[in-house]
Amino acid sequence: MKANAKINLTLDVLGKREDGYHDLCMVMQSITLSDMLTFRPKQPKDELRVYSNLDFLPTGRKNLAAIAALNFWQAAGMPEQGLEIHIEKRIPVCAGMAGGSSDAAAVLRWLNEQNGNPFTMRELAKIGERVGSDVPYCVLGCTALAEGRGEILTELPKLPHCWVVVSKPEFPISTPELFAKIDSTKLRCRPDTAGVLEALKAQDLDGVAKRMYNVFEDALPKMYYSRISELKRLLIHYGAMGANMTGSGSATFGLFSDEATAQTAYEELKQICEETFLCESV
C-alpha cells in the first residue's frame, strides 16, 4: 500500500495554547512521492513488528506504524494481532513531509479494509489523532485546510494538477526547537491563506503558487535559512511558479505547470541535493 507524502502550501502558527501545543493554520497537499508498505499477518500470539530499508528507524511498538495498528485494534475492540509491517522508505526522513505519519495512516487504512471497513474515513482520521498530529490529514489526503494541532480538517477544491520538484538538503531541522523559537520570532510576513483558498476555488494554480508561505522559515537558524532560501531561488530560476519550505523542513519544493520545465529543474537541483525528487500533485 502506498503512503503519499504531503507538502505545505501554507503554514501559519497562530499562537501557543494552554495545553502547550500551538494553533496552526495550514493548507496541505498530497504528492506522488510515497513510501510502500507491505503487510504479513501472523498468528495472534506473534508480536507486532515493523521493518524498513533504513536500519536506524525504530521497530516494534515505537514506530508510528505500530502505534497506529495498536490504536486501530483498541478502537475496534479487537485483541492485538500478530503482524509484520515492512516499509520501503522513499519519503525523506526529518523533511517536513509527514513520512512517518503517512505510514501510520496507511496502516489504519489497510487494517480498516482488512476488517470490513468498520470505520468511515473521518472516523479513521479521528483514531489517527491518537497517533500524531499529521496522521488525520494523511488518512484523508488530497487538498485540505488543517487547523488546531492539524487535526481539524476541511476538504478543499483540489489543487490543479501540477508537477512538484522537492529537494531535501543534507541537514535535518528540529521541529521542537522551531516551535520553541517561533513564539519569540518577529515574522516577516504570514501566508495569504484566504487568497490561497480563493485561488483553489477558482482553480488558479498560479494564484496558489504566488501566495505560498511558511512562517517557520522566519525561525530558522541563519545557516539553514540561507540554504533554504537558495533552494527556493534556484527552483524559481528554473521555472517554478512558486517555492516553499514544507512543514518544519528541511525539504523545499516548487510547483511547475509543465513537465518539461519540472524535469529540467529536477536535473539541475539533483546535482546540488542528492535527495531531489520529481513528482506530481495527487
At 246, the amino acid letter reads: T
Predicted local confidence at residue 73, as pLDDT: 97
Predicted local confidence at residue 15, as pLDDT: 87
pLDDT digits (tens, 9 = 90+) for 67-106: 999 999 999 999 999 999 999 999 999 999 999 999 999 9
pLDDT digits (tens, 9 = 90+) for 28-51: 999 999 999 999 998 777 789 999
Burial status of residue 143 (CB atoms within 10 A of its CB: 0-12, 13-18, 19 or more)? buried
**pLDDT tier for residue 189 given thresholds of 50, 70 and 90:** confident
Maximum distance among all alpha carbons in the chain?
57
**pLDDT tier for residue 142 given thresholds of 50, 70 and 90:** very high
Mean pLDDT of the chain: 95
What CATH architecture applies to the domain 2-155?
Answer: 2-Layer Sandwich (3.30)
3-state secondary structure the chain: CEEEEEEEEEEEEEEECCCCCEEEEEEEEEEEEEEEEEEEEECCCCCEEEEECCCCCCCHHHCHHHHHHHHHHHHCCCCCCEEEEEEECCCCCCCCCCHHHHHHHHHHHHHHHHCCCCCCHHHHHHHHCCCCCCHHHHHHCCEEEEEECCCEEEECCCCCCCEEEEEECCCCCCHHHHHHHHCCCCCCCCCCHHHHHHHHHCCCHHHHHCCCEEHHHHHCCHHHHHHHHHHHHHHHHCCCCEEEECCCCCCEEEEECCHHHHHHHHHHHHCCCCEEEEEEEC
Least confident range of 173-177, 200-204, 230-234:
173-177
**pLDDT tier for residue 180 given thresholds of 50, 70 and 90:** confident
**pLDDT tier for residue 266 given thresholds of 50, 70 and 90:** very high
In the residue annotation, 134 being an active-site residue is answered as yes
Q: Does domain 163-280 bear CATH number 3.40.50.720?
A: no
Query: What's the distance, Cα to Cα, between the start and end of the chain in Å?
Result: 15
- CA nearest neighbour of 273 among 248, 254, 247: 254
The single residue listed with the C-alpha cell 519569540 is 184
Find the catalytic residue in 12, 35, 103, 134.
Answer: 134
For residue 159, pLDDT over 90 is answered with: yes
The single residue listed with the C-alpha cell 515493523 is 50
- The domain limits of the chain are 2-155, 163-280
**pLDDT tier for residue 26 given thresholds of 50, 70 and 90:** very high
Question: Are 278 and 258 in contact, with CB atoms under 8 Å apart?
Answer: no
